[in-house]
Structures are given as structure tokens and as C-alpha cells.
């Protein structure tokens, strides 16, 4: 596991903080302005109000990604990574690895639930802008440890990061959020009433399609999942179902 504040602190220590600002946005001189512009454009959306952003000019909108990756023949790993939501470019330049685990070692759905809880802790630390005082279990670091000595100090000169969105393919979204509505059920969409049933056929692409009559709010989405199958991403500050964004390449 690579804690994001360690990654950001390492980039911040580069000459002129160039690595840090180029990771946020390219060209680097527009990083602060583009962060503020992003938050201004989403300020009317429900998730923004949950974030309580203090300084949009120095708050990175953080996008979370998860995907299954084949590593050797039939072997597969699940990789979680994060990136600046305002940075475009190849994955190798824009994404930073958070953690990965082998599919054969995974316990469904508990492993992905555990990762969501780790990300909730991570986002609370990142939004504070300082190194954490406690570990992910809530325990204080040993007094003589490096973590304890730097706790409370800026990891990137006063910059911080806040949740912006979650991205994954259909399989990843189902696993991460325990979606009861998915392509394998009659009700195939987590956002609306689209269904395999003729009354709300997902095959109707006209403006008069019946499924357009109801787009779920976040609270309605949570009520539609069976008891005990609520997404653990509810613990991540700012996340709601509207921030599960589609990735066009996966859709195509």
C-alpha cells in the first residue's frame, strides 16, 4: 500500500514542486486556477456540500479508480489508484497506485469493503492537508516513530485533496458497491428504472422512454439495495451514487 500523502509529499519535495503541480494539471502554472474552476463548476451538486472545502485554490479534486488486471495467464489482480480529476494524459503519468491484491485472495464482498474503509480514512487525512495523528484503526502512532514525529505537519505546503469521483467498469462498480441493480438482473441500471422488462425496456433509446421518468437520488439508491448490502463507500466523505462516473473506453 502506498499512502497518498507520502506520494504527494515526495512530489512536493521535487525542485520547484514541479512534479507535484504537473501531477495536478498540465500546464503546471494553471494548477491552482483549474482546481478552483473545477470546484466552482460542481458547487451546485449535492456531493459538494458534504465536502466543506475551505480553499478551492489549494484543494486537488481526487478521482479514484479500480480495475481488474490480468497479470499472468489466468491470474488477475484488483488495482486501486487515484489521480487528479483535472489532469489529462497517459495513465503512467497521471495515476498513482494505492494498493492491489490478487483476485484469488479476495473474499467477496469483504475485501472491497475493507478497501472502501481505508479510502474513507485516506480522504479524511488528505482533506486535512496534514500528516495523520492516528493510523487507519484509530490508534496513535508510537511516540518514537517517524509517523508520530511528522503528525500534524503539512505534507504538501498547505495543499490538500478532496473526493471528486469514482471510476470503474461495470464489473468493478458492482463489486465495489454491491450493486443489486446490474446487467445480470432484470433492473440493469443503478441510476434509473431501465430494465429487461418490456415496461421499462433499456432498449428504448427515444426521448419518451419510460425509464427517463425516474432518476434515483442518492438516498433512493441506498434504499433499493437489500439490508446488509449497502456500499461501504458511504463512509467516504463526498461520495454519492451520482459520482460513480462512466469511463467511455469501458462503455465502448
Residue range 74-102, pLDDT digits in tens: 899 999 999 999 999 988 889 999 999 99
Check whether residue 174 and residue 188 sit in a common domain.
no
Check whether residue 187 and residue 143 sit in a common domain.
no
Instruction: Decide if 250 is inside a domain.
Output: no
Residues in the chain: 252
**pLDDT attached to residue 93:** 87
Check whether residue 69 and residue 90 sit in a common domain.
yes
Whether residue 248 has pLDDT greater than 80: no
Mean pLDDT of 199-214: 92
Count of Cβ atoms closer than 10 Å to residue 41 Cβ: 11
What is the rounded distance in angstroms from the CA atom of residue 62 to the CA atom of residue 27? 18
Check whether residue 152 and residue 83 sit in a common domain.
yes
Instruction: Decide if 14 is inside a domain.
Output: yes
Check whether residue 73 and residue 190 sit in a common domain.
no
Check whether residue 124 and residue 200 sit in a common domain.
no
Instruction: Decide if 251 is inside a domain.
Output: no
Owning domain of residue 149:
4-179+233-242
Check whether residue 108 and residue 131 sit in a common domain.
yes
How many domains does one find in the chain?
A: 2
**pLDDT attached to residue 251:** 64
Check whether residue 111 and residue 204 sit in a common domain.
no
pLDDT tens-place string over residues 214-233: 899 999 999 988 888 899 99
Check whether residue 237 and residue 215 sit in a common domain.
no
What is the rounded distance in angstroms from the CA atom of residue 166 to the CA atom of residue 82? 9
User: Would the pTM count as exceeding 0.85?
Assistant: yes
Check whether residue 126 and residue 211 sit in a common domain.
no
**pLDDT attached to residue 7:** 97
What is the rounded distance in angstroms from the CA atom of residue 132 to the CA atom of residue 71? 33
Amino acid at each position: 500500500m502506498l499512502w497518498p500523502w507520502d506520494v504527494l509529499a515526495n512530489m512536493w519535495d521535487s525542485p520547484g514542486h514541479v512534479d507535484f503541480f504537473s501531477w495536478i494539471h498540465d500546464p503546471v502554472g494553471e494548477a491552482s486556477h483549474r482546481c478552483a474552476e473545477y470546484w466552482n463548476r460542481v458547487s451546485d451538486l449535492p456531493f459538494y456540500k458534504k465536502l466543506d472545502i475551505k480553499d478551492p485554490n489549494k484543494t486537488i479534486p481526487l478521482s479514484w479508480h479500480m480495475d481488474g488486471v490480468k497479470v499472468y495467464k489466468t491470474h488477475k489482480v484488483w488495482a486501486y489508484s487515484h489521480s487528479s480529476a483535472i489532469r489529462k494524459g497517459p495513465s503512467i503519468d497521471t495515476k498513482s497506485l494505492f494498493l492491489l491484491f490478487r483476485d484469488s485472495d479476495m473474499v467477496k464482498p469483504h475485501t472491497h469493503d475493507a478497501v472502501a474503509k481505508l479510502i474513507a480514512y485516506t480522504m479524511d487525512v488528505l482533506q486535512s492537508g496534514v500528516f495523520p495523528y492516528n493510523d487507519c484503526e484509530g490508534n496513535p502512532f508510537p511516540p518514537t516513530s517517524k509517523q508520530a514525529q511528522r503528525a500534524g505537519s503539512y505534507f504538501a505546503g498547505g495543499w490538500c485533496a478532496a473526493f471528486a469521483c469514482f471510476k470503474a467498469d461495470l464489473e468493478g462498480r458492482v463489486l465495489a458497491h454491491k450493486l443489486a441493480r446490474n446487467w445480470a438482473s432484470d433492473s440493469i441500471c443503478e441510476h434509473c428504472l431501465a430494465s429487461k422488462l418490456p415496461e421499462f425496456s433499456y432498449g428504448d433509446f427515444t426521448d419518451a422512454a419510460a425509464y427517463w421518468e425516474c432518476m434515483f437520488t442518492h438516498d433512493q439508491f441506498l434504499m433499493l439495495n437489500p439490508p446488509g448490502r449497502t456500499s461501504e463507500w458511504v463512509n467516504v466523505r463526498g461520495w454519492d451514487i451520482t459520482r460513480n462516473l462512466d469511463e467511455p473506453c469501458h462503455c465502448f
